[in-house]
Structure 1
Amino acid sequence: MCGRFSLTSSIDALQAFFELAELERHEPRYNIAPTQPIMMVIAGDNAALPHGRNMPDRRSLLVRWGLLPSWVKDPRDFPLIINARSETALSKASFRGPMRHFRTLVPASGFYEWQREGRARPQAYWVRPRHGGLVAFAGILDSLLAPDGSEIDTGAILTTQATETISHIHHRMPVVIQPEDFNRWLDCKTQEPRHVADLMKPADPDFFEAIPVSDKVNKVANMGPELQEAVEISPEALPESAKNPDDDQMSLF
């Protein structure tokens, strides 16, 4: 799954990578959490937003991280959906409409994941593209029309089976859309969900690298670059299967 991620690239890098017509002010964010605003990129060429709103070029917009389908009557009675399983996104009621009409890209520098199995305390990892730079997660968008007439844009990140690189940490990971597939993924006019189903797959095994980091990331209030500094995993935190049978003091470094 993806419960925290980061976006620290410059405006110039974001505009170039996503071919954005323009981009409003953007500050580096090291610990993006559910219910916070996240950046999403939508298609151009007069792509329609929910409720008939149009945007003329490929543009970015801020949405609340936590999907609220347009048919929800009372958001207080609906669970927080930050991730959508790609395997069932085409069939589940909450995702069918967004998958058909409002597919998006979620700009990120990487994401955080926690390894829990076999540990007294979860070990946090910073998972980033091995060669650095930006990555685009597959996202979906929907808009809730409130009783007062206001509109709340909300979104979720699609997930898939984890690759070998991070499957020992968690069995799920975000779906990554490569730049050459941006147009096809974002094209909700001519590309039906079944036409882009092949894009909802795990990234190449060597695309990401996982770096153990401190538990500072557990606290949403912590937001600095120190969250992504590598730490050494203590031997007592390792699962028994990972320890050296000849020496109980094992280091990953």
Structure 2
Amino acid sequence: MCGRYAASRKPEDLVELFGVQRWDPTETVEPSWNTAPTDPVFAVLERAVRDADPQPDPRPVRQLRALRWGLVPSWAKSADVAVKMFNARAESVHEKPAYRHPFASRRCIVPADGYYEWLTMPSRPGTPRSALRKQPYFITPADGSVLAMAGLYEFWRDPQIREQDDPAAWWCTCTIVTTAAEPALARIHDRMPLMLRPDSWDDWLDPSLTDLDEARALLAPPPPGLLEARPVSAAVGNVRNNGPELTARVEPEPEPETTLF
């Protein structure tokens, strides 16, 4: 968790919703109902604008940026690590080498409609792992609002590109912070994205809030009951499938009867 999510809101809507001050319309991400690690994703962050101005304004500006999902630490020798670093655990994000520095000053919000999780269905004892049946669920805010997932972002320079000013040399990647699932969702999976309430957005995005103890206070999960889970089609399991029908409720298959011998 979280390894797939849906994000279909238009960038113009995200700009208004999050009070974004700067967004480059050429930096686009297509709506997706089956976003997977290494995909481009929208993220909201606050950072000084790096323009050609010889005396740029040092004050941070709230921006909507297209990042790559799967964090690549600044010290990584290869971007291949991104595929394994799409989540960061809230309990240890302040101490893990890959996440400690981004957590201190490069926090972001990853907007989503909701995320997917798979429930392993009951089976007879001895059933091979490959034969276990899993029911996917789409977990989304019950009131239809945006799911503001806590994230971290980082910059990485590709050592294979020698030209310093080549834009392709620089990657901006992100990861989603996860926490223990609330009781109603724990039966599906024991982890969930850390959902940020609107009253915590400003503090989470504030790059001047660098004290780790203060930042850790922002990791408190919201009260339970804000999210709902609905069974959806198994088609979401294939990343090639992408459309709003993936989030539609379906009748789950009946659980198989188990016989004890």
Structure 1-normalised TM-score? 0.85
Q: In structure 2, the residue corresponding to 1:227 is in which secondary structure?
A: helix
Distance 1:47 1:136, change over 3 A: farther
Structure 2-normalised TM-score? 0.82
Equivalent in the alignment of 1:38: 41
Q: Determine which of 133, 145, 153 is the counterpart of 2:157.
A: 145
Q: Distance in 1 between the 2:38 and 2:31 partners?
A: 18
Q: Determine which of 227, 237, 246 is the counterpart of 1:227.
A: 246
Partners of 2:29 and 2:41 within 8 A in 1: no
Q: Does 1:192 align with 2:192?
A: no
Count of matched residue positions in the alignment of Structure 1 and Structure 2: 235
Q: Distance in 2 between the 1:186 and 1:79 partners?
A: 25
Deviation string 1:17-75 (CA, Å, 9 cap, x unpaired) is 2111244355421110011011111115x278xxx9x7852101111111110001133
- Aligned 1:92-241 pairs, distance under 5 A: 92-116=96-120, 118=122, 120-147=132-159, 148=161, 149=164, 150-236=169-255
The one-letter code sitting in structure 1 at the alignment partner of 2:70 is G
Q: Determine which of 75, 78, 85 is the counterpart of 1:81.
A: 85
Q: Does 1:5 align with 2:5?
A: yes
Partners of 1:41 and 1:105 within 8 A in 2: yes
Partners of 2:6 and 2:113 within 8 A in 1: yes
Note the aligned Cα RMSD (angstroms). 2.4
Q: Does 1:60 align with 2:79?
A: no
Q: Distance in 1 between the 2:256 and 2:109 partners?
A: 36
Q: Distance in 2 between the 1:21 and 1:95 partners?
A: 26
Equivalent in the alignment of 1:28: 31
Q: Distance in 2 between the 1:79 and 1:6 partners?
A: 18
Q: CA deviation at 1:216?
A: 0.6
Structure 1 unpaired stretches of 5+: 241-253
Structure 2 unpaired stretches of 5+: 51-55, 124-131
Q: In structure 1, the residue corresponding to 2:204 is in which secondary structure?
A: helix
| Mean CA deviation greater in 143-152 or 5-14 | 5-14
Q: In structure 1, the residue corresponding to 2:2 is in which secondary structure?
A: coil
Partners of 1:39 and 1:63 within 8 A in 2: yes
The one-letter code sitting in structure 2 at the alignment partner of 1:41 is V
Q: CA deviation at 1:143?
A: 1.1
Q: CA deviation at 1:233?
A: 1.5
The one-letter code sitting in structure 2 at the alignment partner of 1:6 is A
The one-letter code sitting in structure 2 at the alignment partner of 1:67 is L
Q: Distance in 1 between the 2:6 and 2:203 partners?
A: 25
Distance 1:11 1:151, change over 3 A: closer
Q: CA deviation at 1:192?
A: 2.2
Q: CA deviation at 1:231?
A: 1.0
Partners of 1:135 and 1:176 within 8 A in 2: yes
Distance 1:121 1:55, change over 3 A: farther
Q: Distance in 2 between the 1:26 and 1:94 partners?
A: 26
% identity of equivalent residues: 35
Q: CA deviation at 1:220?
A: 0.6
| Mean CA deviation greater in 136-145 or 117-126 | 117-126
Distance 1:235 1:137, change over 3 A: same
The one-letter code sitting in structure 1 at the alignment partner of 2:84 is L
